[in-house]
A and B are shown apart, each in its own frame.
Chain A
Amino acid sequence: MGATVKNFIKQLGLPRLIILALFIALCITAVVLKQDFGLISSDVIRRFGMFGVLALAMIPSIQCGTGPNFALPIGVICGLLGALITIEFGLTSPALGRGFISAVLIALPFAVASGLVYGMLLNRIKGSEMLVATYTGFSIVSFMQIGWVTLPFNHPEMVWPIGKGLRVTIALDSSYGGVLNNFMAFYIGGTKIPTGLLLFFFGSCFIVWLFSRSKAGIALRAAGDNPRFAAASGIDVDKNRIIGTVLSTVIGAIGIIVYSQSYGFLSLYLDPLYMAFPAVAAVLIGGASTRKARISHAIIGVFLFQGILTVALPVANQMFPEGNLSEVLRMIVQNGIILYALTKVGGEA
């Protein structure tokens, strides 16, 4: 009995255990403080699906050996472009998922092309992928500050009423806002189950899982796991790194579209910058390292990470009404986890 418990703890890992304990403690506190539990649990599930696909984008990039994709903003911007073009041209008929499907389809070529270029860049800077990725993300976001102002979008829902350029947040009420969340949604007690959102997330996981078991996926994992082994098995390591980067960028693009439909808004300008860190933190909490990741890590990690943040927010607000402590807490957990995982780089965990 003691041995099985020990084994279980060892398999789960100490960090996950701490986070899990914190999550449970927060849930209990929430109940004690008489928070609306239905509302909170709905929120946990919604945010789980909302951030899930973004976290999933980390899996191919870690598996192909380029580490967590800190340059996720590249994919995010491609997704945003897809959504903006969809609205601009009014491709929001119900047959196109009120714009969701068209946004994804339009985002794809952008994501594939930028993933290719970025993958080639990564092949030239082997060994410092994470650092370069972070700054690539910063650069592309800054570059698009100009883009959002100068690109020729004219749709009245998106541009400033006076002057030029796109707004900071663009409402999706008239297009695909909530399209997945409300698809076959139902309530258990006070808890809303966003069936479409969860189906989409698990469907994406399933597709990534299928890929990882195909010949190409196995080559990609071998290239990431041990590049020298892969080379000795006739696998083109550089090519597989590019494939992984493209996949990660594409999933990131789809991820932001899923995120925005749940959020109800597209947020431009500086916001894409902050999309990578929660996603990285989530997979790392889930048990991934910068060299190894499984799909289960993304699922568990997103649930724990978003769960904690969602529950902590009302609890912290009630306990410390002054200031935005919950935001501070979010930052501490998120960056603390990333820091913890980065110290593990190179160690045989």
Chain B
Amino acid sequence: MEKEYALEMKNIEKEYYGNKVLKNVSLSVKPGEIHALVGENGAGKSTLMNVLFGMPVIHATGGFSGEVYIDGEKVDIKSPYEAMKQGIGMVHQEFMLIPNFTVTENIKVNREITKANFISKLSKSKGMETLNTKAMNSDARKALDTLGIGIEEWARVAGLPVGHMQFIEIAREIDKTGIKLLVFDEPTAVLAESEADRLIAAMKQLSASGIAILFITHRLTEVLQAADTVTILRDGELVATRKAEDTSVVELAELMVGRKIEITGKTEVVEQAVSDKEIVLEIKDLKVQMPGEEVKGIDLKVFKGEILGIGGLAGQGKVGIANGIMGLYPGSGEVYLAGERLELNNTKQALKKGLAFVSEDRRGVGLLLDSSIEHNIAVTTMQVKGKFLKRFGFFDQIDVKATREHANKIIKDLDIRCRGPQQLTRQLSGGNQQKVCVARALTLDPEVLFVSEPTRGIDIGAKKLVLDLLVKLNKELGMTIVMTSSELVELRSICDRIAIISDGKVEGILAPGASDREFGLMMAGEYRKLQSKEAV
């Protein structure tokens, strides 16, 4: 067994506050192997890497169980610094570079080569030695050449194209002596296709020199291009490990999504009644500049009385859609509500015309945490529609009685657990806070209700309550709901149709009963490519 693997992780388990996020995960990487790690958001990829690097967050939450071996030797890594000493390097997703330093300086930062000079000899301090720029430059050059990239080592990082920055990160890691394992955390997410190809070529070159590579990604074609072995995680469990040559994009997609619970009811075919349904909201070529969730041209129709799900991986733009339509982030394109064109970038108009939005950022956007429940529920409607107010000539005052009555009614209707309408929303549990957000949106009496990530950060019991509430609103009040969620299971359990967003565009629309394979392919953005191939 000795030295067979550069890295072995055995039976890793990790809990966050009683919530198991890694269940008995094992992973082994041989020297010179490119090992891909794939999974949905929240599958446990980052947690596994945090364990490997001994990130403080792991130890602050009670450590983990399981064993880590490097070169066949058992190690106990307590901090990223120790990980570095063990020869593990990480290429970060967001670049950790100093813009005003040159490429060489960035590569060599805190590992500078120095030579003694008069003052350093006098003070006997290494800190006073002169930089050996020549040696440093030649080291940097060597690292860059290994990657096959023609950046000048004396250029400043600021102003270099994004793709190059990625390579500098990598150069920094391989310049460290004794590097055995390099982790790439979604390195291609920010790269253009040609740059991604070059990166993969560089990875192959590195692995040929004996360095083991762990490659985290969700672009499945790249996995097959680059990796020797693929490990798939889902919900903190190891689903499968496959040789790259024995698997296909389709199989990976299927494994990645999986089916966990039985889907209730809703299995009618999507196309069936499309023509005779009334369109309540039509979106044409919507573009939204929301940082990290950019929408790059979406066309979507929402039918009256349906629950439309919007799914997809994080960062692909699904969250941006509702935010853009509501005018919270600058957008362009056309949106028609019941045939009438809606002015974009104007939140007040959107609310007035009959849209309402429950934000994905409950505590940041959804609530006035230091105000009472009744105030939270009434405030938007008051501002937009002038309700809950009493007029005295040119002056108006809040109608305390009407506000209280409405709050009491809706607290009862939605079953918000609280001490009364005057309790501060900060003191409520996540699920009840979410209900207050929904209550606020309902008070507006909307045509279409946008709900983003309604179950994020609330416990499992409350999740079901919130979802049941949405179904109830849909069935009993006939409310049209557009629900955005990262949790596919949720979408499949309550939606009539699910649009999957990939790279800021609609990859496709599926019925909740569609196969795992289709969902997986769409989320990975491979669906259209595959279809066009089949067509040929």
Contacts and interface: CB of A to CB of B under 8 A. Distances in A.
Given A215-B398, A225-B371, A234-B349, 5 more contacts: A210-B395, A222-B368, A232-B328, A232-B357, A233-B384
A214 B397 contact: yes
A126 interface: no
Contacts of A292: 370
B291 to A, nearest CB: 14
B306 to A, nearest CB: 24
Contacts of B326: 232
Nearest to B380: A233
A218 B398 contact: yes
B384 A234 contact: yes
A228 B348 contact: no
A30 B398 CA distance: 46
Interface string B197-239: 0000000000000000000000000000000000000000000
A229 B365 contact: yes
Contact of B386 (A215, A231, A235): A215
B397 A210 contact: yes
Interface string A194-212: 0000000000000000100
Interface string B366-392: 111111000000011011101001000
B359 interface: yes
B396 interface: yes
B97 interface: no
A225 B372 CA distance: 13
A213 B400 CA distance: 10
Contacts of A215: 382-383, 386, 389, 396, 398
A225 B357 contact: no
Contacts of B364: 226, 228
A231 B368 contact: no
A138 B348 CA distance: 39
Contact of B379 (A213, A214, A218, A231): A218
A81 interface: no
A225 B367 CA distance: 10
B351 interface: yes
Interface residues of B, number: 30
A226 B369 contact: yes
A219 to B, nearest CB: 6
Interface of A: 210, 213-215, 218-219, 222, 225-226, 228-229, 231-235, 292
A222 B375 CA distance: 10
Contacts of A218: 379, 382-383, 398
Given A214-B396, A218-B398, A226-B367, A232 B347 contact: yes
Nearest to B347: A234
Q: Sorted from nearest, which 3 A-B pairs have the closest CB atoms?
A: A234-B348, A233-B380, A234-B347
A13 to B, nearest CB: 15
17 contacts: A213-B397, A214-B398, A215-B382, A222-B383, A225-B368, A226-B367, A226-B368, A228-B361, A229-B365, A229-B366, A232-B359, A232-B365, A232-B366, A232-B380, A234-B347, A234-B380, A292-B370
A228 B347 CA distance: 12
Nearest to A228: B365
Contacts of A231: 328, 347
A233 B367 contact: no
A234 B398 contact: no
A218 B376 CA distance: 11
A266 B316 CA distance: 64
A214 B365 contact: no
A42 B380 CA distance: 47
A241 B319 CA distance: 29
A194 B383 CA distance: 41
A226 B376 CA distance: 12
A193 to B, nearest CB: 31
B440 to A, nearest CB: 8
A160 B47 CA distance: 77
Contacts of B352: 234
Contact of A214 (B350, B384, B395): B395
Which of A219, A231, A233 neighbours the largest number of chain B CB atoms within 10 Å of its CB? A233
Given A214-B398, A232-B359, A219 B367 contact: no
Contacts of A222: 368, 379, 383
A229 B347 contact: no
B396 to A, nearest CB: 5
A228 B389 CA distance: 23
A218 B328 CA distance: 20
Contacts of B349: 234
B438 to A, nearest CB: 14
A214 B389 CA distance: 8
Contacts of A228: 361, 364-365
Given A214-B395, A215-B389, A235 B383 contact: yes
B364 to A, nearest CB: 6
B385 to A, nearest CB: 10
Of B365, B382, B395, chain A has the most CB atoms within 10 Å of the CB of B365
A278 B359 CA distance: 41
A213 B388 CA distance: 11
A101 B397 CA distance: 27
B257 to A, nearest CB: 32
A210 B393 CA distance: 14
B216 to A, nearest CB: 31
Contacts of A235: 348, 383
Interface in B306-362: 326, 328, 347-352, 357, 359, 361
Interface in B139-187: none
A231 B384 CA distance: 12
Contacts of A234: 347-352, 380, 383-384
A234 B357 CA distance: 11
A3 B183 CA distance: 55
A222 to B, nearest CB: 6
Interface in B449-492: none
A125 B368 CA distance: 24
Contacts of B369: 226
Contacts of B370: 225, 292
A292 B369 CA distance: 12
Contacts of B380: 232-234
Nearest to B400: A213
Nearest to A233: B380
B371 A233 contact: no
A235 B383 CA distance: 7
A226 B364 CA distance: 8
A233 to B, nearest CB: 4
